[in-house]
A and B are shown apart, each in its own frame.
Chain A
Amino acid sequence: MESKKSLDMEKVISLILRVGVVLSIIVISFGLLAHILIDAKVATLIIKVGLYILFLTPFARLVVSLFMFLLEKDLIYFAITLGIIVIIVLSNMVVSLRF
């Protein structure tokens, strides 16, 4: 039973990573093309959007793992994953406020 669930987890995580990377690379490539060919202002914005999709990819993986550990009732790993998410979000907020 447990191995079946963690198999699903592996599939979902693999899919998230793949979709996130492919999507972000496509968006960034459009931005780069716009930058090189027409040097448009909008190019930087497109690249920025693509980069944020890339940054959100490992984050999405964390959030999905969080829910899957909860479904498996693995509270130790639920807490560990939650801790990781809290550290990332909090440190970003603290540094943002300081600068």
Chain B
Amino acid sequence: MIFEVLVVSIIAGFIGSLLGIGGGLIIIPFLSIVFKLTMHQAAAAGLVSVIATSSGAASAYVKDKLTHLRIGMFLQLATVIGGVLGAILSGFLPTKILSVIFGILLLYNSLLMIKNRTSDEKPREYSQATKWTKSLKLYGSYYDKILNREITYSAQNTFWGFLMMTFAGLLSGLLGIGSGIFKVLALDTIMKLPFKVSTATSNFMMGVTALASISIYLARGDIVYDICGAVAVGVLGGSLIGSKVMPYIKSKYLKVAFALILIYTSIEMIKKGLL
């Protein structure tokens, strides 16, 4: 069984990195539907894959100075609180209800992916720092390789961003996913940070968020070590292959095809919870 989990994890990591979504979203339904794990055990394995891939990728992003360490650190307070609450809450919810929530979230994610398949970044003006952002140092700059100039930015709507991050952490702890779309939503849409900074900072935050959640799963004894190990190695390996292959894959039809598979999977998860 370990070998099968390893192979499936490699595929999940590969597809996840091609689509720009976490391996957790793909591996959790597999573990739950095919390998008959409870949602709690599957979520724990998902969190392990989040720690492995986000730490691997964050290492590169931080070096490129795209990550804003202070914004990440400050908002981690929100995601860690949410992550702990979500993980504790999951202990009180039956596996069927978790399955339905997961299915709905995956469905939302897949539909969003089809809608945003041609995403390009629009340059925008960044307004001045406010009192909050000044005292917390939530501003900075990065060198944009495509625009070929230094971009300065400063966080807006800090309070609402913090709130959205708590929600992202909650979902992460509850379901075992990285909940990257909600983190990027908070950073990019609400706090108006540049998209590249948002994705890098969101990734940077995932490791610590997942750690906060998994420490609860660990304390509760929901971790199947052999399977978690296979998932960690498989998803990381698969996502490394995916990131190497990605520049050569341009077809947006591929993304839609994968998204359709994910929609099918999410319906299966919802059915599994309701029947």
The answer to whether A51 and B62 touch across the interface, beta carbons within 8 angstroms, is: no
- Size band of the B side of the interface? 35 or more
- Cα separation A32 to B202 with both chains bound (whole Å): 30
Q: Is the CB of A55 within 8 A of B214?
A: yes
- Interface contact A57-B229, CB-CB below 8 Å: no
Known A-B contacts A58-B207, A62-B208; the reply to A13 vs B62 at CB < 8 A is yes
Binding site for B on A (CB under 8 A): 6, 9-11, 13-15, 17-18, 20-21, 24-25, 28-29, 31-32, 35-36, 43-44, 47-48, 50-51, 54-55, 57-59, 61-62, 65, 74, 76-77, 80-81, 83-84, 87-88, 91-93, 95-96, 99
22 A-B contact pairs sorted by A residue (CB < 8 Å): A6-B69, A10-B67, A14-B58, A17-B58, A17-B62, A32-B226, A36-B2, A36-B3, A48-B225, A50-B232, A54-B48, A54-B52, A57-B55, A58-B210, A61-B208, A77-B73, A83-B77, A87-B81, A88-B212, A92-B218, A95-B88, A95-B219
CA distance A36 to B5 in the complex (A): 12
Contacts of A74 in B (CB 8 A): 137
User: How would you classify the secondary structure of chain B's contact residues: helix, strand, loop or mixed?
Assistant: helix
- Which B residues form the contact surface with A (CB < 8 A)? 2-3, 6, 48, 51-52, 55-56, 58-60, 62-63, 65, 67, 69-70, 73-74, 76-77, 80-81, 84, 88, 135-137, 207-208, 210-212, 214-216, 218-221, 223, 225-226, 228-230, 232-233, 236
Given contacts A51-B232, A61-B208, contact A17 B55 (CB under 8 A): yes
A25-B233 in contact given A77-B70, A95-B216 (Cβ < 8 Å): yes
Give A25 to B233 CA distance when docked, in angstroms: 6
Chain A residues whose C-beta falls within 8 Å of the C-beta of B214 in the assembled complex = 55
Q: Which of chain B's residues have a CB closer than 8 A to the CB of A15? A: 59
- Report the nearest B residue to A12, measured CB to CB: B62
